[in-house]
């Protein structure tokens, strides 16, 4: 029975992320989330990567804070990335920076499977992944002053004005991140939606504990250490702009 549960882990994750929630009297509990639940079918390779290697790479939402030194087996700085997509750029960064530990959160289960598969291919060990709502992970599991940085690359733009409240970058989100960052910890964001870039800049600039590293006090050129994704390359070919923001906790 235990082995069967392990073999079905990937499929269980796919279903559990999309589980409906109800109040005590049976009414559907509708949460305003900052992401779309795209729980598509996993390929056989993605399933196999998750089922066979979750014990190496996967972390679960829990009632207590994570113990990062115990999880990673060292005291290296921890960088959190929210919404890593298919995970290629996250794995590439982890491989390029072995002196850092990387923690990625993604609710799209095929992306989690693809990330683990690529991490195995690249022999990356300084990476852990979570398939859960990032807001709950931040609240329940990330200790105070435990993160060297936060990465948020190309989050869902919710481009319609009436949906802007669903964007993850809001003052309350930044306020929840601030205590988790160490002194001089960074917040690095990137988007290809100018309107969202402007909102990000406004929200980050209004946080008194942050300092913009831009010489013009707005955006920075794409730094070499942020890998160019296929999504971003396609945008460049289509003439889309990309805006990077890099702030430091004072």
Run means of pLDDT, 10 residues per run, the chain, 250 residues:
56 56 44 52 87 95 97 98 95 98 95 96 98 94 98 89 89 96 98 94 97 97 89 77 96
What pLDDT is recorded for position 43? 85
Q: Tell me the residue ranges of DSSP E strands in the chain.
A: 58-59, 78-82, 101-105, 127-130, 147-153, 181-191, 210-212, 243-249
- The CATH number of whichever domain residue 40 belongs to comes to 3.40.50.150
What pLDDT is recorded for position 10? 65
Specify if 3 maps to a domain: no
| Sequence-distant (≥ 6) Cβ neighbours of residue 250 within 8 angstroms | 183, 209, 210, 211
Specify if 27 maps to a domain: yes
Specify if 106 maps to a domain: yes
Catalytic residues: 156
Total domains in the chain come to 1
What pLDDT is recorded for position 238? 77
- How many angstroms separate the CA atoms of 116 and 241, rounded? 30
What pLDDT is recorded for position 2? 47
Helix or strand or coil: residue 115?
helix
Specify if 2 maps to a domain: no
What pLDDT is recorded for position 237? 81
Half-sphere exposure of 95 (CA within 13 A, CB side): 15
pTM of the model: 0.85
Which residues span the domain enclosing 232?
Answer: 8-249
What pLDDT is recorded for position 45? 87
Query: What is the token pair recorded at 124?
Result: 């990356």
Specify if 206 maps to a domain: yes
Binding residues for substrate: 160, 192, 229-232
- How many angstroms separate the CA atoms of 150 and 152, rounded? 7
- How many angstroms separate the CA atoms of 50 and 191, rounded? 29
| Sequence-distant (≥ 6) Cβ neighbours of residue 240 within 8 angstroms | 192
DSSP string, 75-92: ---EEEEE--TTSHHHHH
Specify if 108 maps to a domain: yes
Specify if 23 maps to a domain: yes
- How many angstroms separate the CA atoms of 133 and 102, rounded? 17
Q: In which region does residue 56 sit, left (phi positive, over 0), alpha (psi from -120 to 50) or beta (all else)?
A: alpha
What pLDDT is recorded for position 17? 56
Specify if 1 maps to a domain: no
What pLDDT is recorded for position 239? 77
CB 176 within 8 A of CB 150: no
Binding residues: 81, 106, 133, 156, 160, 192, 229-232
């Amino acid at each position: 029975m235990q082995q069967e549960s392990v073999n079905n882990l990937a499929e269980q994750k796919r279903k559990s992320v999309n589980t409906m929630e109800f109040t005590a009297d049976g009414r559907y509990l509708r949460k305003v989330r900052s992401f779309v639940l795209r729980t598509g079918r996993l390929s056989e390779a993605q399933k196999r990567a998750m089922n066979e290697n979750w014990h190496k790479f996967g972390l679960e939402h829990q009632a207590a804070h994570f113990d990062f030194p115990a999880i990673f087996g060292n005291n290296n700085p921890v960088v959190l990335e929210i919404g890593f997509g298919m995970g290629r750029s996250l794995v590439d960064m982890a491989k390029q920076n072995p002196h850092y530990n990387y923690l990625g959160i993604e609710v799209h289960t095929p992306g989690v499977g693809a990330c683990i598969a690529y991490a195995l291919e690249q022999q990356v060990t300084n990476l852990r992944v979570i398939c859960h709502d990032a807001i709950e992970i931040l609240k329940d599991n990330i200790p105070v002053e435990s993160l060297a940085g936060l990465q948020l690359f190309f989050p869902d733009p919710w481009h319609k004005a009436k949906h802007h409240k669903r964007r993850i970058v809001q003052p309350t989100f930044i306020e929840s991140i601030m205590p988790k960052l160490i002194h001089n910890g960074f917040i690095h964001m990137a988007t290809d939606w100018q309107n969202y870039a402007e909102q990000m800049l406004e929200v980050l600039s209004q946080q008194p504990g942050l300092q913009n590293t831009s010489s013009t006090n707005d955006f920075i050129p794409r730094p070499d250490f942020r890998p160019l994704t296929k999504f971003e390359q396609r945008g460049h070919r289509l003439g889309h702009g990309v805006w990077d923001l890099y702030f430091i906790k004072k």
